[in-house]
Structure 1
Amino acid sequence: MRSMSTQPLDLAYRKALNTWRPVILYFGNDYCPACEWAEPIFRAIAEKYKDHACIYVLDTSKSPRHPEVTGTPTVLFYKEGKLLKKLKGIGTRESLEENFKKHIGKLRPKQQIARKPRHDLPWLQKTFSTLCTAPRARELLNVRFMSNV
């Protein structure tokens, strides 16, 4: 299923993979026509999962060589430092979304909890009445100075 790589993984990749969260690496190139088409789709899908995984978009001309990447675009799915799946190309939007769901998990909708307001109108009126504005501060200072004389 997966070919064994004899090349050691670069230190930059080992550091990125040393996490409990799933890691997804996307390798593309600026001069690749397939990458021009694939990268916006990958970014759109990855945006939904950014809080649930470490997602990296890497340019093969600028990043260190990865032994599993032989062409672009390539997507690598890691969990606990182990390569789970390698995609050469991203396929369709639906297949990429399925791979994200499979390796990260389905996203739960955020729950909207009805909360009681912390402050009500009487509290707000009391707070505003105790605030010192510039004219009121002068008035209060004058009253204090007059009482001390």
Structure 2
Amino acid sequence: MLSVTDATFDELVLRSELPVLLEFTASWCPPCRMIEPVLCELAVELAGRAVVAQLDVDENPRTAAAAGVLGMPTLSLYRDGAAVARLTGARPKAALLAAFEGYLPPA
């Protein structure tokens, strides 16, 4: 899974040729730790169709504030430089795929 920071957000997320599923996370957040294995699975399953990434909100407050993140985990799907879908809270893999599949290129 790709790690994103305030300094790399524009390059790795907004200018990505592929959609980016970005998890806004924190080390102290139990639901964030719970969803991490699911996101690792999605990173493998979506390879070539999307990038799965994480941004630690404590270490990168500028991007989290600009995105209006108030709860964690927040999962935002970015496509063509803009956030097109968002979920807050841990969800099963099937629910994540259902929420974001319509924004991804075909397999």
TM range (shorter): 0.7 to 0.9
Could you list the structure 1 runs, at least 4 aligned residues long, displaced by more than 6 angstroms after superposition.
none
How far apart, CA to CA, are the structure 1 residues paired with 2:60 and 2:37? 19
How far apart, CA to CA, are the structure 2 residues paired with 1:55 and 1:36? 15
Match of 1:24, SS state, is strand
Once the two structures are aligned, what percentage of the paired residues are identical? 28
Tell me the matched-pair count: 98
User: What is aligned with 2:11?
Assistant: 15
Aligned partner letter, 1:61: D
Which has the larger Rg?
Answer: 1
Specify which structure has the higher proportion of strand: 2
User: What is aligned with 2:31?
Assistant: 34
User: What is aligned with 2:3?
Assistant: none
Unaligned runs of 5+ in 2: 1-5
How far apart, CA to CA, are the structure 2 residues paired with 1:11 and 1:33? 26
Unaligned runs of 5+ in 1: 1-9, 108-149
CA contact (8 A) 1:28 1:39 kept: no
1:46-57 to 2 correspondences below 5 Å: 46-57=43-54
CA contact (8 A) 1:22 1:80 kept: yes
User: What is aligned with 1:81?
Assistant: 81
Q: Displacement, 1:49?
A: 0.8
Please, what is the CA RMSD of the aligned residues? 1.9
Specify which structure has the higher proportion of helix: 1
